[in-house]
Structures are given as structure tokens and as C-alpha cells.
Amino acid sequence: MRRTSAVIASVVFAVLWFGAVPGGAAAGKARTPAPPEPPAPSAPLAAPAEGEVLKTLRKGHPRLVATTDMLEQVKKTIAADATAANYYKALKQSADQTLGQKPVEYIIVGPRLLSQSRRCLSRVAALSLMYRLSGDRRYADRAKQELFAAAAFRDWNPSHFLDTAEMTHAFALGYDWLYDYLTAEERVRIRTAIVEKGLKPSLPIYDNNRGWARSNYNWNQVCNGGMTIGALAIADEEPELAAHIVAAAIRSVPRAMQSYAPDGGWAEGPGYWSYATRYNVFMLAALDSALGTDFGLSQLPGFDKAGLFRIHSVGPIGLTFNFADAGDRAGAVCEMFWLARRFNQPIYAWHAREFAGGNPWELLWYDARGKGPKADGLPLDAYFRGIEVAFFRSAWEDRNAVYVGFKGGDNKANHGHLDLGSFVLDALGRRWAVDLGGDDYNLPAYFGNKRWTYFRLRTESHNTLVINGENQDTRAVAPIVAFGSKPERAFAVADLSHAYAPAVRRAHRGIALLERRHVLVQDELEADKPVEVLWGMLTPAKVALRGAEADLVIRDAAMSLRILEPQGAKFDTMSANPPKPQRQNPGITRLVVRLPGPVANARIAILMTPHPTDKSPEKWTGTIKPLAQWD
């Protein structure tokens, strides 16, 4: 293999990085944000009284998300737009496959019925919408089979209320979209299930303001969304119950929606961003279609910018910076179509089309606008305050672009890992530094007192520092204290001191994208007495070690790493497989940097060059610049 790192000097980038930057223009000037404060509770909305909340209820059906007029417009769009026509074909294919499958069953896995609830929802939505668009009775008949099977369940597992919420959503759509096809007896059967198995179990939670009703994470939006949609479906026949639940949901959901402030980020990571935002959108869309208003919920701070977090969190090869309990596949985002329409953001629609998966809501909310981030001039770099995450890339709409996601954040965040300072890195169409995501939720006490014993959640499995072989403080927060974005250099610096106290007095990490092609990871530590420091990065690459250098290869692509500081530090490798039954990580290597010994003060600087360079060593002169001077 060609030793590309050998042509990079052992000291780096005096001109572009460590030397003075001429001009000092205001545009793109680095700034030092203040450490974040917890978001203040959103101002109380003028939520209507229960006696008034249904005053504008649309009469008849369908009224949830889709109305008769909206469905007629969808038919016209399918006829006129080739992309929409393809979405319709995908929807039809999904519905046709369901025709020959048996209905859902009451199967609990761990504490969850959730897989069955989601299967019921996806089937009922696809079948019911196909019936509304095609008039083919086969789809309506098969949807009824699904509903009748789940109606016969002894319950919808309210002890894990997500299951109840998603099943209620499925029944609400089936009841509303198939209303004209159902007999009076069938309506009673479905409506009774909504009331008894869906809505009534929520009353103790709302009335006592406990559990998900007062949380600020995804459970709030999913459960409030499912209950709102279910209540609006049967509001004609059960007005008092429906009004009580809708009013309670409108009071509750701002607790979670305030988490989008100030600029659309989501502390549970991109995976749960999608789940939370999708149900938030389901709720708002149902309120708007059934009542003609969302009572100002969509105007809460940061919600209009939520789509920007999704766009920046997806790298050039379609993988997200999947911090927290999530996989790295970006997946479909029908909610981006709704956000595009609601906030007049065509770029959201462009992104939704890029990841479309053929679900019913993509067709209902389809938006043909948007030419992409390159045409829109979307910044290459972004910093999301509050959640303390930054993203950098060399280009938009280029599969080979360099992409870095870097986080500070809060170890107490729901679904969070002990990963402050972690990062992912893409280049040359490959992911070089990976986040493993979550493990099996059914592992013993996964969300309890064993959580921090599992490898994938511990500090050691993330691309950050391990001090004295210990986890980071589970209560730690790490603000991004400096951020800059210029064509020749973009960077962020996170204060990790809280994560490693009391062993370390000061710990800062900076990540910089230099020349839009080289990545520098620089750590600075100060301690009262020497500590053991281990720098780590998980990679799917084949690794060749050469002391202070490492060559990484993934198929036909290569990247070189070089330790610039300290002298005497060397690369090494470790296993990334924990004891079973924890999930194994085949093909993943834990690349580490070992220092010569314990240190009280240290600076660790690692240069990563995804693109081979032919520049000669004498062109790179200077000394490493302290993080305090990066700004």
C-alpha cells in the first residue's frame, strides 16, 4: 500500500490552520457560544377549554389527515406527476402483498406488543388509503380483517403505552378512512375497541399528569399523537371523552416540543428524531384536518427548523450520525413532506424524496418542490445548540465527500450513551469511524441499573477518550464552547471536563475539517495527578499499524492516520466484541492510541487524511495550536 501519511509532515498546516487568517471578514467568522442552559418551558398555549375544543369539528368522514377534497387532489397529482405515480405503485404493491398475509396476533416480546401495533398500523393505513384512491373493495375487506383481529386482543398492552398509542392510531385511520364502507355493527365494534382498549387507559395518565404525559422525549409525542387521532376519529359519538383527551394532549405535547428549541436539534439522536417528529406531525395534521387548527403548536420555537437537523445529520452515503440508541440507516421521512408544506421549506421536500419508502403519508403530503442543498446554498457546517452537536462536510450531493458529526451534549439525555466527545467520519463513499448504536432492548435492565454495563452504551465503545478505564460521569454535560465555519477550516471545541471529573480537572476536545479534506482530532487534558488515557475509534476498515501511523482500507478506498502529538504515542488495536448475549460487532476494530505512560497534562493530536495527497512535507510547517486559540 502506498504510504500516503509519509508525505504529510509530522507537523501540520501552518498556513491554513495554525497561522494567521488574513482579512478577518465577518462572514464565516468563528464564534464562541456560551455554555448551554436547559431550554425554558415553552410559554403556555391558549389551549381551549374542553367544552370548546371540538367546536369546529369537521362533520362526517374522512377527516383525519386526509379529507375527501385532499384525496381528490392526490388522485390528480398521481395522474400528473411521475414521482407521485411511482409512490402510488409502491403503495399498491405493499397493499397487494398484505392481501395474502394473516392478520396480526397478540405476541409480546419482552415488555412490548409494539411490533404487532406497528404492523397493524402500516397495513391498515396502506389498505385503507388504497381503497379510498382505487375504490377496490378487496383492500377495505382485508383492512377490516386486520382491525377485527386486533379488536379481539385482550388489551393493547397499556403497560408499554407506545403499543397502545400506535394501535389506537391504526384503528382511528381504519374507522375514519373506511367509515362509509363499514356497517353500523362494524363501526360499533371498531369504535368500542378504540374507546376501551385505546383511549380509556390514557385517562389515569392524563388526569394524574404522570409518565409520558409530562415527559420531554419521544414517548410524549407518540402517545399524545395516538390518543389525539383516536379521540378525533370517534368525537361525534363520544364527545366528552374525546374533548377531554384532545385538550389534555394539547396541554401535554409542548413539554416535548420545547426540546426542538432553539434550532431544531433532538437530543435522542436522528433515529428518535424521526419517531418523535413523525408522531408530532401526525397529531398536528389530524388537528388541522379535523378541527381546522393546531392551536399554535406548530409555532413553538425550533419546530420549523427541525428538518434542518435531519438534513445535516445524514452523511453523503445515507448514514446518519447515529448517536444514542439508533441504527445508522437514514430511512424514510414522510414527516419532512408535511414540514415542507407547513413552513414553506422546499429543501425539506427534496430530502423526503431522496429517502422515500412508499408509505401512505408520503403520497398524502407529497411535495415536488426543492432542488437540493447545493442549489439552495445550504451551509456545509452546522451547530445545533442545546443538544450540542456539530456537523461538517466538504460538499453537498457528493457521495465521496468528507463528513464529520461531532457531539458534546448531555449524558442524561433519554436513550443517550456515555459518548461525550464522540464523532463519526465518512469519506470516499465509506464510513471510517462508526457509532455502533444501541443493543437489544430486551437485555436485562437495559433501561435500568445495568444500562452502563453494556458495551455499546459504555464510553469504551465510542470514538472518544477513556480515562483510567472508567465510564464518563453518567450525569455529565459537555457544551460546545467554540464553533467556526470557513471554506478553508471548520471546527468545534467541546468542554468534556465534567465527563471525566474528578480524575481530570480540564478536558477539551476539538475537531477540525481542514481544507475540506483533512480531519484533525485534538484533545487537551489537565489533571492533578497522572491518569491513564486511551484514545479510541471504532472502524470497519482493515488496519495496518506502523507505530505513530495507521493505514485504513475499506475495499478500494484508503485513509491514513498520524499521531502528531505526543511523542512516543503509538497506535494499537483491541477487540470490539463484548461478552454474549450482548450484540457482537463482526468486522469492527477498536483502533486506540496508547500514550507512553500516565500523564497529568497531555495534548493528543491525530490527523486523518481520507484523500491521498502528493504534497511534499516541506509545505506543512508550524506547531500545533492550543484549542483555546482555535477561535
Task: Kindly report, residue by residue over 45-100, the tens digit of the pLDDT.
Answer: 667 889 999 999 999 999 999 999 999 999 999 999 999 999 999 999 999 999 99
147 close to 169: Cβ distance less than 8 angstroms: no
Which residue, 44, 67, 46, is CA-closest to 291?
67
User: Whole-angstrom Cα distance, residue 502 to residue 472?
Assistant: 11
User: Whole-angstrom Cα distance, residue 337 to residue 348?
Assistant: 6
43 pLDDT more than 60: no
Backbone angles phi, psi at 543, to 5 degrees: -115, 130
User: What percent of the chain clears pLDDT 90, i.e. is strictly above it?
Assistant: 89
User: What percent of the chain clears pLDDT 70, i.e. is strictly above it?
Assistant: 91
Query: pLDDT band at residue 32, thresholds of 50, 70 and 90?
Result: very low
The count of other CB atoms within 10 Å of the CB of residue 546 is 14
pLDDT at 188: 98
Q: What is the pTM of this model?
A: 0.92
Instruction: Examine residue 62 and say whether the peptide bond preceding it is cis (omega within 30 degrees of 0).
Output: yes
pLDDT at 292: 97
112 pLDDT more than 60: yes
Beta-carbon contacts of residue 516 (< 8 Å; ≥ 6 apart): 380, 394, 395, 402, 487, 488, 490
457 pLDDT more than 80: yes
- What the block records as the C-alpha cell of 374 is 447545493
pLDDT in tens, 468-477: 999 999 999 9
Parallel/antiparallel/unpaired status of strands 570-575 and 489-495: unpaired
410 pLDDT more than 50: yes
pLDDT in tens, 247-302: 999 999 999 999 999 999 999 999 999 999 999 999 999 999 999 999 999 999 99
325 pLDDT more than 70: yes
150 close to 103: Cβ distance less than 8 angstroms: yes
pLDDT in tens, 210-223: 999 999 999 999 99
Round the average pLDDT of the chain to a whole number and report it.
92
pLDDT in tens, 492-542: 999 999 999 999 999 999 999 999 999 999 999 999 999 999 999 999 999
Mean pLDDT in residue range 173-202: 98
pLDDT at 48: 83
Ordered structural domains, the chain, with CATH: 102-252 (1.50.10.100), 381-629 (2.70.98.70)
pLDDT at 624: 82
613 pLDDT more than 70: no
Q: Which among 5-14, 433-442, 621-630 has the top mean pLDDT?
A: 433-442
What is the residue type of 47?
A
Instruction: Examine residue 301 and say whether the peptide bond preceding it is cis (omega within 30 degrees of 0).
Output: no
- DSSP letter (8 states) at residue 304: G
pLDDT at 46: 65
Cα–Cα–Cα angle for 119, 355, 260, nearest 5°?
85
7 pLDDT more than 80: no
Query: pLDDT band at residue 31, thresholds of 50, 70 and 90?
Result: very low
User: Whole-angstrom Cα distance, residue 229 to residue 169?
Assistant: 6
